[in-house]
Structure 1
Amino acid sequence: MTVMILAEKLFVCAVCLAVRALRLGPDRRYRWEPIGGGVGDEEEESGSGHGAKYPMVLVQIPMYNEREVYKLSIGAACELEWPSERFMIQVLDDSTDPVVKDLVETECQRWKSKGVNIKYEVRGNRKGYKAGALKEGLKHDYVEDCEYIAMFDADFQPEPDFLLRAVPFLVHNPEIALVQARWKFVNSGECLLTRFQEMSLDYHFKYEQEAGSSLHSFFGFNGTAGVWRIAAIDDAGGWKDRTTVEDMDLAVRAMLQGWKFVYVGDIKVKSELPSTFKAYRFQQHRWSCGPANLFKKMMVEILENKKVSLWSKIYLWYNFFFVGKVAAHTVTFIYYCCAIPVSVLLPEIQIPLWGVVYIPTLITLLKALGTPSSFHLVILWVLFENVMSLHRIKAAASGLLDAGGRVNEWVVTEKLGDTSKAKPGANGSDDVKVIDVKLTEPLVPKLVKRRARFWERYNCSELFVGTCILLCGFYDLLFAKKGYYIFLFLQGTAFLVVGFGYVGTLPHCNA
């Protein structure tokens, strides 16, 4: 299976290198022309009729208790360059914290008072989570006038010219359903955890998304920083909440209806990476369990589909789902964290040198092409990815088997915004006055803090696996003499470092 993954990586890189060498960017494969004469003064647009040339665009921003980042996304969306009468912003607030809901609504009203066409929408429950909110948002009467939907999660900040650069692909190419932009990370240098995420996601966007777009006109929608044609959403059956990857679900169904997707890497949208290990682990569970669960539910539908070519079905079934969403997680953990350690205990298991060194090294180098500036972190990155494969294989297995209580569990990724870096009293509005007051009784009863148990303070599964790998390393050094002990010591130590919580930043606490 490692050979299978290597072949997939080589193929993806070859496609992307060919696209760059031949300069076959999206604007060469599809028609792109600016709409109207550009967005200028609003009165000039109204007088000259330029505004009428622009299609009606809806900007959706789903939120859930986004105290730290709600202003960023709303502010960026309100500053998009587009005729004011030809687009509206829809903030879909599923917050359960009444304070946060008031803050978000107040922010929407503030922009509305400036003349921005912004709608603040809430619903009575969180049924369907994000998919349910997006589906409910499309039911409002004012959406009927819109042709396209731009979607941004609460921590995403599009540049003002985002719509001007993305929407023309949809306007001039009626076969395109989705324009996906690239993510740009504002906190990638915060810690090693965010650097590792940047390396993984840069490869995903620069190579996997680019290859899928160039060769098959299909890739998995990333759930944000994209513009959809509403007709394509309706044609695919709308949003469904049967998995935790509603974005990928919609993309696959739209592809099976014959729609095309285009990835535009030159359009970048700023976003935030989770900087705490707990938040990252929950995110990876959702990203690993959801696709596997979707694969199980759609594998027969993909094969029976008659609207796309056999080649497209093979790509979707084998390359996109099986290799990318199932085999990759399985091979990484079973091979590097199980087979190699066990082989030092059992002389009967012989792993050839090309399987231990050459193929893994080549796969690593290919994936590192996405972020050349972090090439010096490759070894640490690989060790960390092997640690994360423990969680990914568990998540993928639960998704494939549709077992366990977390298959459809939706945990919103924690965002810290700028609050973790802000200092009290940094500006006039946040100055703090300290007043000495003698109190006879405390204002708030003192709470007795329960001491956290061992399994609550540490990641026990990582500690267990790391200890086993280290023991195998010592056995190899003292008895087996296979020479794997260097890798086993490094990998075992990586598991222990993560197990004791020495990765990422400390969870942010509000005083």
Structure 2
Amino acid sequence: MEVIVIILYLVPTLILFSYSCAQLSLVWNYWQKKRTENGNPPSNITPLSFEFPLVTVQLPIYNELYVVERLIDAVCLFEYPKNRLEIQILDDSTDDTVSIIAQKVHFYQVQGFDIQHIRRRNRDGFKAGALAYGLTTARGEFIAIFDADFIPNPDFLTTTIPHFENTHVGVVQTRWVHLNESYSLITQLQAFGLDGHFIVEQGGRNAAGHFINFNGTAGVWRKSCILDAGGWSAQTLTEDLDLSYRAQLRGWQFVYLENVETPAELPATMPALKSQQYRWMKGAAECARKNLKKVLQSTTVKFSTKVYAAFHLLNSGVFLAVFVMALLSVPILAITAFEPKYDYLFGIFRIFQLSFLMLLGFYGTTHYRHKTFGQFVWQLPFFLTVIMGLSLHNAIAALEGYLGKKTPFIRTPKWGIVQQKDGWQRKNYLVKSLNWLTIAELLLAVYFAAAVGLGFYWHSYQMVVLHAMLAVGFGFVSFYSVKHSIS
């Protein structure tokens, strides 16, 4: 029995080590690109080198009382000729958002904007369905897409559209930045993690010519690329990742612009964050189920790109590995405490503790320009702690995706929260998270807190830090799941 437990513990630990190695390789790719740029600055791409093409801006909306006006205002401030801009508000709303949009559309139509309020009879296909519906009448050669929680800058189109002079480019994606990063501890930790994706992951993959993904918003598609790749599909919860892979398998190139920032609002409550994480994790697993085999069997995709694509598409499976490793770490503690012959295993397990050093390099690269040393020192371990606390929730989402269990698209609520004085309490769209999963997370916090006590009682200290992080992580997630559900 001891051998079985050890093997079951070793497998997810090895998976996590492999994933950390992949992340470290992205750091290498990222810095190689930076060295090249410093030695040979890229030529400036200006909008003056070609005529302004017709651009359609699509705004998929579903019940966005608090943020839809600021989004429409931001798009209408674009530094782009009115006669070359078409705005589609793809409104599936069922509340007062409909009348708010109608008033805004009338206001800007009077000012000469080509802006349309588009309503469907039903919400089939959710966001993917709305985008596909709008595309049937879109006149633009290029399609810019923004979710409701974004506020694009006036120069968005003039900094992205010129990159399409290369006729092989199908997508230009910009980097998300955060309107309300300092609002709370939850938003700070979200920003910490998202920056890792938008700086090192997207930048590292793109630098080496590997597949990246359109992030669902704050980017521009070439319309012919969408059509050539088969169009938007609601078969997965992450329609953006799905279409990205289908397009790149067709040979389209993606451009990632790290230096072009598009501000957005972060979820302010734990239930809202869980809702977003569930969609992202399950959707990624669904995309792996749908597209990974196609990538691996492709005769035109180079081997290294296939490897990176596998890590990318299977990313949400990391949470399965984290949860299994965490759960089995307590039996491992008992085995080593009562069977001294297995002490040598800790020597092997310490090799995999290098994963933390690799993540230190990954997030150090991400934040060396954006954080003070003091901020980084406390945010990195606390971020990893909370990520471990979300491992059960995200593992369930990933497992459902791999098994093909279908669930509806659940939007992430936005409340127009930017400053400390802004609040989400007593507003519409509040998500509740008082369920069996929250109870399980609370019990896991107790489980790992007991493991900390056992470590001291048995004078076996090798896993005390790990178990303390797990106890705090699950405690943090369960506490705020309850607090934000009853406030």
Counterpart of 2:379 in structure 1 is: 377
Say if 2:269 is the partner of 1:280: no
Higher relative contact order structure (alpha carbons within 8 Å, sequence separation ≥ 6): 2
Matched, 1:325 2:339: no
Whether 1:216 and 2:214 are equivalent positions in the alignment is: no
Aligned with 1:481 (options 445, 460, 467): 460
User: Within 2, Cα distance between the matches of 1:27 and 1:124?
Assistant: 51
Aligned to 1:447: none
Contact 2:232 2:243 in 1 (8 A): yes
Aligned length: 452
Distance change in 2, residues 1:507/1:77 (3 Å): farther
- Equivalent residue for 1:394? 396
Q: 3-state DSSP class of the match of 2:415?
A: coil
Change (3 A) 1:76 1:455: closer
CA distances 1:30-68 after superposition (whole Å, capped 9, x unpaired): x7532338xxxxxxxxxxxxxx92100000100000001
Question: Retained in 2: the 8 A contact 1:63–1:153?
Answer: yes
Alignment of 1:232-243 (within 5 A): 232-243=225-236
**Offset of 1:290 from its aligned partner?**
0.7
- 1:339 equivalent among 317, 322, 328: 328
1:24–1:245 CA distance, 2 compared to 1 (3 A): farther
Secondary structure of 2:346's counterpart equals: coil
> Could you say which structure has the larger radius of gyration?
1
SS of 1:216's partner is coil
Uncovered stretches (5+) of structure 2, i.e. residues with no partner: 1-14, 424-431
Q: Does 1:185 align with 2:178?
A: yes
Name the SS for the 2:212 alignment partner. Answer: coil
CA RMSD of aligned residues (A): 2.6
| Distance in 2 separating the partners of 1:300 and 1:488 | 37
The alpha-carbon deviation at position 157 of structure 1 amounts to 0.9
> How far, CA to CA, are the matches of 2:39 and 2:331 in structure 1?
47
In the TM superposition, what are the counterparts of 1:72-471 in structure 2 within 5 Å?
Answer: 72-97=70-95, 99-140=96-137, 143=138, 145-170=139-164, 172-316=165-309, 318-322=310-314, 324-326=315-317, 328-335=318-325, 337-347=326-336, 350-352=345-347, 354-355=350-351, 357-372=353-368, 373=371, 374-375=375-376, 376-403=378-405, 407-418=406-417, 456=435, 459-471=438-450
2:37 is paired with a residue whose SS is: coil
CA–CA distance in 2 between the matches of 1:294 and 1:483?
38
CA shift, 1:310, in A, is 4.1
Instruction: Return the alpha-carbon distance in structure 1 between the equivalents of residues 486 and 73 of structure 2.
Output: 24
Normalised TM-score (structure 1)? 0.83
Matches within 5 A, 1:496-511: 496-501=475-480, 506=484
Tell me by how many angstroms 1:96 deviates: 1.3
CA drift of 1:231 comes to 0.6
Q: Is the 8 A contact 2:147 2:217 kept in 1?
A: yes
Instruction: Give CA deviations for 1:447-476 in whole Å, capped at 9, x if unaligned.
Output: xxxxxx995599212111111111222122
Distance 1:423 1:369 in 2: 32
2:10 is aligned to: none
Kindly state the Cα deviation for residue 182 of structure 1 after the two structures are TM-superposed: 0.4
Supply the distance in 2 between the matched residues of 1:73 and 1:26 (Cα, whole angstroms): 37
Normalising to structure 2: TM-score of the pair? 0.86
User: Are residues 96 and 420 of structure 1, via their aligned partners in 2, closer, same or farther at CA, if it must alter by over 3 Å?
Assistant: farther
Percentage identity across paired residues of the two chains = 29
Among 21, 30, 36, the residue aligned to 1:16:
30
The amino acid of 1:469's aligned partner reads F
The verdict on how the C-alpha distance between 1:26 and 1:388 changes in structure 2, with shifts beyond 3 A counting, is: farther
Which segments of 5 or more consecutive residues in structure 1 lack a partner in the other structure? 38-51, 425-452
Matches of 1:388 and 1:157 in 2, distance apart?
Answer: 29
